[in-house]
Amino acid sequence: MRMILLGPPGAGKGTQAKMLTEKYQIPQISTGDILRQAVKDCTSIGQEAKSYMDRGVLVPDQVVIRVIQDRLGKPDCTRGYILDGFPRTVAQAEALGDTLARMGSTLDHVLSIKVEAEELVRRLSGRRTCRSCGEAYHLLYSAPRKDGVCDKCGAALYQRDDDKEETIKRRLQVYQSETAPLISYYQDRGLLREIAGQGEIGEIFERICRVLEK
């Protein structure tokens, strides 16, 4: 199963992708996670990406397209994958289409997760992530048992640099101008399914599974 999770920052793409990974045994490919790891490792891609990510704007298309082309060629993608946060521009969607055509492959699903703006800001400003295993928490909705400590592995939790209020606003504007046009792009290709993204995490997961299994 090859799918894209589309949605604004905070829509729950990462949260849902992790659950889908377990259910369908296919990898989550998050360009955000790959770029954050590259920043941490001080690779050339990381150095190039950092200033864009800190400002809440998109990393240039040619950089992320290279990252994705490389990742899709890995053996764990043969049974499928969940693209989380890619594509984010029409140019990226076109490059993805070309790459898949060269591989003799196609997309099965594009799911657009919809959440109101106020709720997105609440989710992002309360998000905390584990430095070690990447588990996501929320100060109000899914707080860790012990303040600042991951329930799963005991490592420290941190707030992403781009989850500060000003940067959140910028990321939401960038989503509207650069990424939202992909909704009609994939609608025109008959691939888009809308998912109501408000409510309990488990409830949203069930909605997604129902759509995938139709």
Query: Looking at the annotation, which residues are catalytic?
Result: 13, 88, 127, 160, 171
Number of residues that bind ligand AP5 (CB under 6 A): 33
Q: Which residues contact 120 (CB under 8 A, 6 or more apart)?
A: 8, 9, 10, 11, 168, 172
Nearer to ligand AP5 among residue 26 and residue 137 (C-beta): 137
Options 19-27, 54-62, 100-108, 146-154: segment touching ligand AP5 (CB under 6 A): 54-62
Sort strands 192-196 and 28-30 into parallel, antiparallel or unpaired.
Answer: unpaired
Cis amide leading into 27 (omega within 30) = no
- Among all residues, whose Cβ is closest to ligand AP5? 32
Options 21-29, 50-58, 184-192, 205-213: segment touching ligand AP5 (CB under 6 A): 50-58
Q: Cβ of 83: how many Cβ atoms within 10 Å?
A: 24
Cα–Cα distance for residue pair 213/208, rounded to 1 Å: 9
Q: For binding to ligand AP5 (CB under 6 A), which residues are involved?
A: 7, 9-15, 30-32, 35, 52-53, 56, 58-59, 64, 85-86, 88, 92, 123-124, 127, 136, 138, 141-142, 162, 171, 201, 204
